Amino acid sequence: MTRLSVNVNKIAVLRNSRGGNLPDVARAAAACLDAGAYGITVHPRPDQRHIRPADVGVLGALCAAHGVEFNIEGNGFAPARGAYPGLLALVERTRPQQCTLVPDADSQITSDHGFDLNADAARLRPLIAQLNALGARVSLFMDVDAENVGRAAELGAARIEIYTGPFAQAFANGDFGRELDACVRSAEHARRAGLEVNAGHDLDQDNLRVLHAAIPELAEVSIGHALVGDALYAGLDATVRAYLQVLAG
């Protein structure tokens, strides 16, 4: 069964655009969990453009109270800055069940590429060991590169997250066979290496249905942008249930 983790970053973007606490990120996350979501994902960044360190603590406690998974995404090599203490410190404070490492930078509007394990292995290995010691399952954000994706297991990661942005863009353009095949190959290569497979980025109800049919053994999908957009029209409860129905199909 593929589980749904809802990324609530976009709720925080809306809140931060006005100041104050509306919309309430924790209330939105609770609504998603009440609708059946398996967990909550956040991606705190050093510039605090959306999720802030204080949110991480509140949402971690919320997930613990509900007995569901908390997933913190981020760049483990980004230094502490101002109120941002660094990813490792946030994991140590909140002890999430999963930490998804992403090689993002402030200059990126959103995550747009995965790790190059040939170049990044040496510095990833000790970071993954530290995260594992804190009780976090580590997932590495990866491009659909079947040649080296299996190396994540050698570094101590338990999962990869397939970067599905190129597949989603190809799907929108109506010619997605090549990108879908690449996702399938990467998933197969990862599983042969003993890794579980997550997927995320630009997934919506339409392209998720196709991706899940091709890779039904996905462990988890993390969805935020499209889900929050859908919820503007249908509401969070109905939208989360609709995504769960896609995954059940």
Convert 120-174 into a string of H (helix), E (strand) and C (coil): HHHHHHHHHHHHHHCCCEEEEEECCCCCCCCHHHHCCCCEEEEECHHHHHHHHHC
- Residue 43 catalytic? yes
CA distances (Å), origin 140, targets 59, 99, 176, 249: 22, 9, 24, 27
* Vertex 205 angle, CA 199 and 211, to 5°: 45
Decide: 71 and 40 in contact? Cβ < 8 Å: yes
Candidates 242, 229, 222, 236; CA nearest to 41 is 222
Catalytic pick from 50, 69, 196, 201? 201
- Residue 66 catalytic? no
- Residue 73 catalytic? yes
Catalytic pick from 43, 50, 189, 212? 43
Catalytic pick from 50, 69, 73, 220? 73
Query: What are the φ and ψ backbone dihedral angles of 99, each rounded to 5 degrees?
Result: -125, 120
Supply the residues annotated as catalytic. 43, 73, 201
